[in-house]
Amino acid sequence: MKRAAFYVRVSTVDQHPETQLRELREYAEHRGLSVVQEQEYVDHGIGGTKARRPALDRMLEDARRRRFDTLIVWSCDRLARSTKHFLQVLDELDSCGVQFSGVMQSGGRSTDRYMSTTNSCAKRSRP
């Protein structure tokens, strides 16, 4: 069974990450992916323009250690707000052999080089 991880970010402390997590858990369950709570990376109250975030940094470190096979996010703008940062994260995940899936992009389908998701996210992200 493939091991999946979630990355969730909410910008303000008033927002609830559980909303995104609930949908991600459903998504993973319907696809037969295994997710353990340690692989739910949540940055709460942190804006997306910051390239360094505690949960994002932990997730990338765990990707380097091959602790999961697929990273799932609710939406690409939760991962990064600039195209440059988004592509850097995708490149790092790819170099670690980790697949990427954005639930709200492309119906949640991943591709070999993530191009459909990348194109969709690049249109939505800030310059």
CA angle 2, 46, 39 (to 5 degrees): 15
Q: Rounded to an integer, what distance in angstroms lies between the CA atom of residue 56 and that of residue 40? A: 10
Active site residue ranges: 11
Instruction: Identify the helix (H) or strand (E) that includes residue 16.
Output: none
